[in-house]
Chains A and B, each alone.
Chain A
Amino acid sequence: DTAVSQTPKYLVTQMGNDKSIKCEQNLGHDTMYWYKQDSKKFLKIMFSYNNKELIINETVPNRFSPKSPDKAHLNLHINSLELGDSAVYFCASSTGTARFFGPGTRLTVL
């Protein structure tokens, strides 16, 4: 059974477009996250939600808007995509300290 799932796995789009990435976890965790991993493999937190409430917003441009319809889902919507948004985006969940990561979404902006 998949613990943390993301769709799509790959996303190729033009500059200026709007796109969404979906994430679901079936672990019963209260906290979910979005991370961005750049080309140098540096993994940086973007957002954290606890029970559908935003806890962390790490100086991310407001073109990025997370939405948590319920405790098991945390989606990421990105407006007006820019070249610098190209990266791998990981969703994760936790019940305490250890994170459980999804498989990632590779976003390429042309």
Chain B
Amino acid sequence: EDQVTQSPEALRLQEGESSSLNCSYTVSGLRGLFWYRQDPGKGPEFLFTLYSAGEEKEKERLKATLTKKESFLHITAPKPEDSATYLCAVQDMNTGFQKLVFGTGTRLLVSP
């Protein structure tokens, strides 16, 4: 069964203090790995899709990387507006593109 584990559960950073969030996954064959941002009281907002080991994607202060067993979301010089829950999800080649399996997320709080 596909599994996604995110760590840490919660992370508190000072503004400007760079760090990384981890997403470990188990799938029979990876079709894609997704990162989402979720603000309180809102739906998840799509950030990135990664398809193969070695791939990297960037958006503003965020950079996502992928290996065969995990993905990292690197946050460089974060600002308070980066505070949110970051969700990772995987899509298995053998279960069709409709099914995404999510992790429970990392709650990030960036203090000024």
In the complex, which of the residues B42, B85, B98 contacts A56, with contact meaning CB atoms closer than 8 Å?
A: B98
Once the chains bind, are A101 and B105 in contact (CB under 8 Å)?
Answer: no
Of B18-26, B44-52, B55-63, B66-74, which binds chain A? B44-52
What 0/1 pattern do residues 81 to 110 of A give for CB contact below 8 A with B?
A: 000000000101000111111111000000
A52, B39: Cα distance in complex, Å? 30
Number of chain A residues close to chain B: CB under 8 A: 24
Stretch among A13-21, A42-50, A68-76 lining the B interface: A42-50
Interface centre among B49, B91, B99 (most CB of A within 10 A): B99
In the complex, what residues of A have CB within 8 A of residue B98's CB?
A: 31, 33, 45, 48, 50, 55-56
Q: Report yes or no: A99 in contact with B99, Cβ–Cβ below 8 A.
A: no
Contact, CB under 8 Å: B43 / A45: no
Residue of B nearest to A42 (CB): B104
Separation in Å of the B95 CB from the closest CB of chain A? 9
| Given A40-B104, A97-B32, A98-B34, also A56-B46 (CB < 8 A) | no
Known: A31-B98, A43-B102. A101 touches B45 (CB 8 A): yes
List A contacts of B97 (CB < 8 A). Answer: 96-97
CB proximity to B under 8 Å, residues A28-44: 31, 33, 40-44
On whether the beta carbons of A104 and B43 are closer than 8 Å, the reply is yes
- B68-112 contacts to A (CB < 8 Å): 85, 87, 89, 91, 96-100, 102, 104-105
Select from chain A the residue with minimum beta-carbon distance to B105: A41
Q: Are B34 and A41 in contact, with the CB atoms below 8 A?
A: no
What are the 6 tightest A-B residue pairs by CB atom distance, in nearest-first order? A101-B43, A48-B98, A43-B102, A98-B46, A101-B44, A42-B104
Binding site for A on B (CB under 8 A): 31-32, 34, 36, 38, 41-46, 49, 85, 87, 89, 91, 96-100, 102, 104-105
30 contacts between A and B (CB under 8 A): A40-B104, A41-B85, A41-B105, A42-B102, A42-B104, A43-B89, A43-B102, A45-B98, A45-B99, A48-B98, A48-B99, A55-B96, A56-B96, A56-B98, A56-B99, A90-B43, A97-B32, A97-B49, A97-B91, A97-B97, A98-B34, A98-B49, A99-B34, A99-B44, A99-B46, A100-B46, A101-B36, A101-B45, A103-B42, A103-B43
